[in-house]
Structure formats: structure tokens, C-alpha cells
Structure 1
Amino acid sequence: MNTGSLKHGDFTGLAENYSKYREGYAPTVRSALIGLLDRSADQCDAVDVGAGTGIWARMLAEGGFRSVTAVDPNEEMRTTGMRDSKQFPIQWRAGKGEDTGLPDACADLVSMASSFHWVDFDLGTAEFRRLLRPGGWFVALWNPRHIDDNPLLVDIEAELTRLKPDLRRVSSARTGLNETLTDRLTACPHFEDVVFLEGRHTVQQSVEHYLGVWKSVNDVQVQLGEENFRKFLDYVKERLVDLETVETTYLTRAWAARRAD
């Protein structure tokens, strides 16, 4: 494992772990987002920006959208996503949140799943408004672990700050951008009718799978560095040595906003 070459927001070298171990989003939230559209999903086109390996893009395809386009700047993530999405009608292309390269008014839903925190807010929201048709919706969503009721998982996450007291989770849906996202989207001239949605789903993960999720997390590895990240994984293995599975609840949090005309 070499975390020394990792940079914030660059998932090169993490694609396999990301694809194999990252969990999806609450299906109830997907259903609620589809319900915001003014037509049925099979009459709508979706664009997923910062699609990574296509976890959310595949959920959109399963939701019945007429078309799904997945956009990501990282070639390794796109290649892995294309491999894992062969059975889905998803079109893949290179692009980033501030410049997707897609035509005007091509989508009824534009999404960023666990990736909006990497995008320049002003440039990104202008780009997403450009992509949307009248009445279309932009959604930013994340799926952090909900650990409050599980002392074991609370202790494991606390080890991060024991190793690095000033560690700041960039991608957590409970900190940073998300603390002000409702207000920022409400004030954004490109959108109106801001909606917040939240849903939960629980999964049983093998210990290998649980460790794999951590190995796919960019910001923790960058901030801890190679030595401390190895110490963290060793601590997790020690805490889970007597377990076969780890029950983990994921909290899907989504902010949706309609295109302003």
C-alpha cells in the first residue's frame, strides 16, 4: 500500500477498492428524487457527474431512466466503471463538474454522488444549470456511515483523530460543505425549491469488506499518510478480530434543487 503519492480528489490507484467495497445509496431516496421530476423516469435523461466507478449511475439506470450518462475526470475510475456497468445502458465520458463537455439542456436530472465537495461551487452550479432542461433538478448526495448507535464503530472512527488530532473529513456528509449546503443552494441564482432528503439502509459486511471501504477513502489516506493509515488498519483488524461480519448502517443525505428559469 502506497498512500504517499495520493492527492486530495485524485482516486488513481483506488478504483478497484472503490468499485469492490463502496456501498450504494438508500433506494428510498432514489425513489423520492424520481418523484420530484415532472415526468416518469422512462421519459427522462439523467447525467451523473463525478460518477467514479458508477455506483449511483447504475442505481439511476435501475430506476428506469431513459438514458444515463456518467461523467468522471479520472481514467482509471471510468475504465473500472465501464467494466462494471456493461449490463447497464450507461454512456461514459471524460469531464469534470466545472466542465462536463455535454450539450445544453440535455438532462432532466443532474447528480453528484459523494463528489460535490470536490467541485468549485459557483462554477459547478452554473454548469449543472446549463445541462438541465426547464423544470429539471440537480441533486448532491452522500452516504456516510451512521455509527452513533454502535460503540465499536464509534471507537474505530475515533482512532482517526487519536492518530491525527487535526484530521478533517473532507467527504463526510455531516461536516464542511454540507453544514451550509441548504443555505448556499437557496441563495444560488441557478436554482430554486431546495429540498433535503434523508434515508437509511443497513448492510452486513465481512471484515474484509469493511476494511476495503476504508482502503477506498481518499481524504483519510491523504491526511494520515502511509504509516498512520497502516496503523489505523491494524487497529481496526484488532478490534474486529473476533467478528465474522460488521453490521453497518448507511445514511443517505441528498440536497435537491430545481433549475431556476
Structure 2
Amino acid sequence: MKHGDFTILAEDYSKYRQGYALSVLHALLGLLGKPAEVCDAVDVGAGTGIWSRLLAQQNFRSVTAVEPNQAMRTVGIQDSAGLDITWREGTGENTGLPEASADLVSMASSFHWVDFRQGTQEFCRLLRPGGWFVALWNPRYIQKSALLEDIEAELSRLEPGLRRASSGRQDSWDDLSDRLSERPGFDDVIMLEGRHQVSQTVDEYIGAWRSVNDVRVQLGQDKFERFLDYARRRIGDGPVETTYLTRAWAARRAPA
């Protein structure tokens, strides 16, 4: 199983992954400078549509979810029943969508899988002048909990040198801002952060880890199950109180 292959994880991803802070979503809507009803949104690397559904609930004129993995798309379509979302196959480097067809292009917890140069070039192509690209993540704020810090430290004890694929953590902030600001086609970069707290049962907390493929791949199945067993022992009966940080980097498409 490759780091970016979510085929066998789609059900766990759908069932256990947490949503994003609404405060960040509302701030992003404010950047558009016009009502969502006259704007078109494209969510790339949409997975099972967690962020896509939040966009659809804001009454955009259109929401298109682009996802390369068939299993994730299938679950996403099921989860999004009743919402006006168009699903299609595509990647961050090649969405297959028309030029200048979007006012907002997003990648939620997926931008780290995309070739940076090709992806940003594609997003600039999709955006209308003055539109916004946003890359956002939703990492746990483990510094708020000694328990969660210890559980995550077990990853390094099991596999020294393990590196997380996700880029939503503190050490990536300045680098991503600089890299986006230097890309042709963008003329402004804004960073946003919102916090939200979630109370999870033990099974929900463990299920969220089962949806994380980079950890599973790097540890191997045996160590991964040992890690989950350790987490269960440390948590006990639960519940688990987790603070999430929705962190977003928004870059504006320069006027024509």
C-alpha cells in the first residue's frame, strides 16, 4: 500500500475523520468579496467529501469535487446524497476542468500529495482573476493534552525517524506561505487558523488513526497494530477530548 493510496481506507475515512472549523470556512467566504450564490467552488483531492459538503452547505452556485481514487469517490458520492455536488475523477496536477471556471479552489488535507509546481499552475489556470486557492489541514493540537502527546510519541518510539506526510503542523507554516507567494499568478497570501473541540469515543479515536495511511505504511501492519493497542491502553474507557486546529493558507489569483 503506497503512502497516497486510500483505497482500503475510504470507509474509515468517511466514518471517523473530523470536520473543519466553521470559523475558517466563514473567513474564507469573506475573502471572495461577493456572495457564495454567484461563485463556483472546486474541491480537489476531495476524498470522501468532508470539506466539499461544507462548501455545498454555503449555497455556492456550483461545487465540484475532484478525487483520483475511485473508492473514495464512491463513498463520497454516497455520503453527499441530497447535496448539489458534482463528482469527477482528476488530480491536483490535472483536474480536467475548464480554464477560469472557479472562484474558489481548495485542497483539504490533500495538498501534500500534489506536485507543488504543477498543482499551483493548474489552480491558477482554474481560477478567475481575483479568485482564491486555499490549502487547509485539520491536525490535532496535541500540545493541549499530555495524553495525546504521549500517544503520538509512541510512533517515534516504534519507528525512530518516522515522518508524517501531512503539512498542517507548525513547522510548515512559514515555508508554505513563502512558496505560495513566490508562485507566478498569485499576488497575496493569507494564513488562517481556527480551533474546535471534539469529544470522541475510544473507537472513534482509534478509527481516525485507521484512516491515516502514511503512519500505517511507515510502521508496517504489525507495528501499526501495536501502536493502536498502546493508544487503547492509555485511553482506557475514554472519552477522548481532542482540540483540532484548522489551518489554512489562501493565495489570491492575480488580476488579469
TM-score, normalising length from structure 2? 0.97
The answer to whether the Cα contact below 8 Å between 2:10 and 2:72 also exists between their aligned partners in 1 is: yes
Counterpart of 1:217 (choices 204, 212, 223) is 212
2:151 is the alignment partner of 1:156: yes
Could you tell me which amino acid in structure 1 is paired with residue 116 of structure 2? F
The answer to whether the Cα contact below 8 Å between 1:196 and 1:256 also exists between their aligned partners in 2 is: yes
In 2, the alpha carbon distance for the partners of 1:241 and 1:177 equals 33
Counterpart of 1:41 (choices 31, 36, 50) is 36
Moved over 6 A (4+): none
State the SS of the aligned residue for 1:249: strand
CA drift of 1:217 comes to: 0.3
CA drift of 1:242 comes to: 3.2
2:41 is the alignment partner of 1:25: no
What 5-or-longer segments of structure 2 have no aligned partner? none
Could you tell me which amino acid in structure 1 is paired with residue 131 of structure 2? G
Could you tell me which amino acid in structure 2 is paired with residue 192 of structure 1? D
2:253 is the alignment partner of 1:259: yes
Counterpart of 1:115 (choices 110, 119, 131) is 110
2:92 is the alignment partner of 1:88: no
State the SS of the aligned residue for 1:141: strand
In 2, the alpha carbon distance for the partners of 1:22 and 1:179 equals 26
User: Could you report, residue by residue, the CA deviation over 1:160-192 in whole angstroms, capped at 9, with x for unpaired residues?
Assistant: 000001100111411675451000011111211
Could you tell me which amino acid in structure 2 is paired with residue 11 of structure 1? F
In 1, the alpha carbon distance for the partners of 2:205 and 2:41 equals 30
Q: Percent identity?
A: 66
State the SS of the aligned residue for 2:144: coil
C-alpha distance 199-183 of structure 1, shift in aligned 2 (>3 A): same
Could you tell me which amino acid in structure 2 is paired with residue 58 of structure 1? R
Tell me how many residue pairs correspond in the alignment. 255
Matched ranges for 1:196-215 at <5 A: 196-215=191-210
What 5-or-longer segments of structure 1 have no aligned partner? 1-5
C-alpha distance 222-175 of structure 1, shift in aligned 2 (>3 A): farther
The answer to whether the Cα contact below 8 Å between 1:105 and 1:132 also exists between their aligned partners in 2 is: yes
2:137 matched to which residue of 1? 142
Mean CA deviation greater in 75-84 or 178-187: 178-187
State the SS of the aligned residue for 1:193: strand
In 2, the alpha carbon distance for the partners of 1:184 and 1:131 equals 19
User: Could you report, residue by residue, the CA deviation over 1:212-243 in whole angstroms, capped at 9, with x for unpaired residues?
Assistant: 00000011111111110010011011111232
2:64 matched to which residue of 1? 69
State the SS of the aligned residue for 1:204: strand
In 2, the alpha carbon distance for the partners of 1:9 and 1:141 equals 17
Mean CA deviation greater in 131-140 or 174-183: 174-183
- TM-align CA RMSD: 1.1
State the SS of the aligned residue for 1:82: helix
In 1, the alpha carbon distance for the partners of 2:125 and 2:15 equals 33
The answer to whether the Cα contact below 8 Å between 1:38 and 1:135 also exists between their aligned partners in 2 is: no
Mean CA deviation greater in 171-180 or 186-195: 171-180
